[in-house]
Homo-oligomer: A and B are copies of this chain.
Amino acid sequence: MPTKRQEQIFKIIVENYIKNPYPVSSKAICDTLNCSSATVRAEMSELERLGLIEKTHTSSGRVPSEAGYRYYVDNIMQPKEMTGEEVLKLQKIVNNKSLLISDVIARSMEIISELTNYTAIVLGKSSLTNRVNKIEVIPIDEQNLVAIIVTDKGYVEHKNIYIDAAVDMEEIKKTVDIINKLIVGTLVKDVTNVLEYEVKPVIQNYITQHEVLYNAFYNAFNDFTNNERVNVSGTNNMLMQPEFSDTNKIRQILNKFEDQDLIKSIDEKENGVNVYIGHENNFDDDVTVIKTKYTINGEEGTIALIGPKRMEYDRVIALLNYITNNIEK
């Protein structure tokens, strides 16, 4: 347990280091505090013994340890009030009524990525709560169709269907009508089931070339339901972070952003804004991942910011809180 003054010194160290990434000396602290550097040094010794700060070498200033950041986030940091500029930029997106919720979130995160210089990730799985509103199939030529699926929340997905055999246009039309009748209102994730157990038996009776058509549609809709929205923005911001100025480190991190499976694993289960520092996340030991789950109006997903461990926690947490709180309206 650090004393009041130790905590005060610790706070200065963390916040100084977050501002500019150089070890913080006792001298720098006794300037803001009213005591001698020797006193500060004694306290810093104690803070180091507690595991909150570290030296980069025997006679260097101190930097926060991973446990230190954790302590800072849990016990010291207060979310920082957003600036007028920040609020303004985000409101512009949030108030745009012609955007889907998912687009509002994606665009907001792009703005946040720009404002903070960290990398933003948005994961959405609309398939869980969206219901089919309409299915449309439009013929392009004898063998190609476009299938379009629209959900009750306004999502649109489309896919090209190539039909190998010559199929009568009337047959296609009838099939689509049957599908529409049976499938409208079902959850997107249940679509393939409905196709198999309700549509298939019916079209066997009415449609001559039911097999070809069933397969074509089944494949197309199967793709829809597996679709997960992934959105990564501001990866280049990682280049701006001084801790990642090493070429190999940059390669390592940027390549991780290309790894779809790794990105998808960012997905958050817990409630609230959660902070995963260094080894606490499975992305990279040298970064912090701040994420939060959102469930708004039936929409589910995760938003996350990735930056160096030396992150502006107070600012980022305030911004993420703003997004999750203000989008409901």
Which A residues are closer than 8 A to B by beta carbons?
Answer: 97-100, 103, 133-134, 136, 138, 140, 143-144, 146, 148, 150, 152-154, 156, 158, 160-162, 236, 239-240, 245-247, 250-251, 254-255, 258
Contact = CB atoms under 8 A, between A and B. Distances in A.
A254 B103 CA distance: 25
A111 to B, nearest CB: 15
Contacts of A103: 160
A148 B152 contact: no
Given A250-B250, A258-B236, A156 B162 contact: no
A99 B161 CA distance: 8
Contact of A255 (B133, B150, B162, B236): B236
A138 B133 contact: yes
A255 B133 CA distance: 41
Contacts of A156: 146, 148, 158
Contacts of A150: 138, 146, 148
A239 B256 CA distance: 13
A154 B139 CA distance: 8
A100 B133 contact: no
Contacts of A134: 138
A246 B239 CA distance: 12
A100 B160 CA distance: 7
Contacts of A245: 247
Contacts of A162: 97-98
B254 A247 contact: no
A134 B246 CA distance: 53
A329 to B, nearest CB: 15
A160 B99 contact: yes
Contacts of A160: 98-100, 103, 154
Contacts of A161: 98
A134 B97 CA distance: 26
Contacts of A100: 160
Nearest to A98: B162
A258 to B, nearest CB: 6
A186 to B, nearest CB: 17
8 contacts: A97-B143, A98-B161, A98-B162, A136-B138, A148-B156, A154-B160, A239-B251, A240-B251
Contacts of A255: 236
A136 B136 CA distance: 9
